[in-house]
Copies of this chain bind each other. A is one copy, B any other.
Amino acid sequence: MPRVSQDHLDARRRQILDGARACFARYGYEGATVRRLEEATGLSRGAIFHHFRDKESLFLALAEDDALRMADVVAKQGLVQVMRDLLLVQEPSTEEHPADWLGTRLEVSRRLRTDPEFRARWAERSSQLTRATRERLLRQREAGNLRDDVDVTVLTSFLELVLEGLVSHLAMGLPADDLGPVLDVVEETVRRQRRTP
């Protein structure tokens, strides 16, 4: 029954990642002890570290998993939609949190700043989002929706810089309820033509 086994392994892996995501988001990397990871996943340390070599590997797998899910939204709806999803997280009334990757993203940003070893390990894995953003922009250009006076590489960096600013803004606990119109400006900047007033 290799198929069933693989399904079972995948489900277990997903269970660990989902629990660990909540745990890292709540306690930060250092605060997410093995005991708290056990509680959050509902699994023993033996089960957890059967799937992931150590806490660092678990965190990297989670960060990679979240980056792939972000890249998926980018491919379908663009990086500005990812940023709009981040704003939703701030609204307490929202039951669904499409951007549950914010916690992971904040931890990645923090560790990139403080941990050169992590920076080296993450560098290889961080390209998915850039690639997804760039590919979507190229498709948009082909469809005639993108401005054509600026290189796609520059527009990709522009969107990534704004995303990083937004993540930092949220991490500092600054108010974000007025940022919707700012993201409209960002979106319009990469579009073909400026709307006339």
Contact = CB atoms under 8 A, between A and B. Distances in A.
Contact of A185 (B158, B164, B172, B178): B158
A154 B182 contact: yes
Given A165-B166, A173-B119, A194 B197 contact: no
Nearest to A112: B172
A157 interface: yes
Q: Copies per complex?
A: 2
Interface string A107-119: 0011011001001
A189 interface: yes
Interface stretch (A18-26, A42-50, A134-142, A143-151): A143-151
User: What 3 A-B pairs have minimum CB-CB distances, sorted nearest first?
Assistant: A165-B165, A149-B197, A164-B165
A5 interface: no
Interface of A: 109-110, 112-113, 116, 119, 148-151, 153-155, 157-158, 160-169, 171-173, 178-179, 181-182, 185-186, 189, 194-197
Given A185-B154, A189-B189, A173 B110 contact: no
B119 A196 contact: no
Nearest to A166: B161
